Structures are given as C-alpha cells and as structure tokens.
Structure 1
Amino acid sequence: MTEELQRGVLKTWKDDRGFGFIQPDNGDKDIFVHISALKGMARRPVRGDVLFYQVGRDAGGKFKAVNARIEGVELMATSAKISKKWLWIAFAALGLVSAAVAAYAFWVNQAA
C-alpha cells in the first residue's frame, strides 16, 4: 500500500501465537503485526520495542504491518539452505559411487 516507513511501539505481543499490535507514533489506530513481517531479525519482538514498518492489507482488507524491523536489532546472517531434493540427489549419487567402487573391487579380486 505505502512504501513509506512508519514508526511505532509494540503495544502488545503474544509470543506463543506470533502476533501483536503496534501503537503508531502518528496517532493512528493500532496496527496488527505478525512474526512473518519481522523476517531475519536476530531476536523475537518484546512489548515496548520500537518498530519500523510499512503498511499493507491482509486478505480481508484489514491493515497490517509488513517489512517490519526492530530498532537496534541486527538482521541475522542468511544461511544458504539446501533443499531436501538436493540432499536426496547427493545421497543417491554417493550410493551409486559406493556401489560402483565395491563392484570394481570385487571384479579386481575375482580376476586375480
């Protein structure tokens, strides 16, 4: 909706459910924030944190915080995740190579 960064204080936070409400500095109504809006933060938010965020809308048209970050909290270094598909391919390749080496060793021992 808007590219402009808003600032507010986290008024409530339900850590077990991963959401809370921000009290915007500009006096607007409280805005919903979900943990998914805080991707990459080094820690989870706590009540009283200052948040910077953009405003978006959910599927029902209600306003929500998006692209949020906690003031003074670093972003975690992104780790390169290997998908399960590539792990299975690597294990299968390792199995095939192992079988080929075992077959070759067997063949060499039979020929001698």
Structure 2
Amino acid sequence: MNTASDQNRPQVNRLLVGIIAILCLIAGAIISLNYPEESFWGGSFVRVGLLMAAFWYAAPTKGRAAAWANVSPWMIVGVAALLLLIVRRPRILIPFGVALFVLGFIVPKLLGKPRKQ
C-alpha cells in the first residue's frame, strides 16, 4: 500500500548513478595520468566518482532494502566514536587491528569453527 510519503519520495535511478560513478572515475584517472599539472581536476573527479559509487552501493533495489535500512542508531554512534578516537589518537589502530585479527582469525581456528566465505 502506497502512502502519501512514499509517493513524494524521489526515485533513485541506480543505473544512472552507477554510470556517473564509472565515468567520473575514468575521467579522474585519465586526467591524473595524462595531465599531472591538472591534479585538482583529476582528484576532484576521483572523489566524486567514489562518492557516487558509495551512493550506488547503498541505493535500494527491487530485491532488497537500502543498505542503511537495518543499521541501528547505536552502530552509527559507535562508528562515529571510533573514527573520532582514531583521528585524535592514531596509535589506537595498532591494538585495535591486533584485536580484530585475533577475533577474526585466531579465535575461530582455536574453536574449530570454519569461517564463512
């Protein structure tokens, strides 16, 4: 059942967003490789292409909801806090990386559980 808010919501043309992302990345690569003195334009196209690729990835499709539909507010707060901590104290990456390695690779092998791929 369509409500009034669903009808007012703009439709995302996922194909067009993907094409724009690819074209921006290609333009950025061509400009950066062939015209190094124009690094401002090459870098700008690459940044826009990466941002558009993120929008393309997060856009909803017919088979699934948007990528952020099931993200809890606590996850957003946790990621923001982690990013702030990393920016303020970059050395935290070393123990954080070691902890992720241990939890992701060592513990499953010790418990005998196969990793999902």
TM-score range, shorter chain: under 0.3
Higher Rg: 1
Greater helix percent: which structure?
2
TM-score by length of 2: 0.22
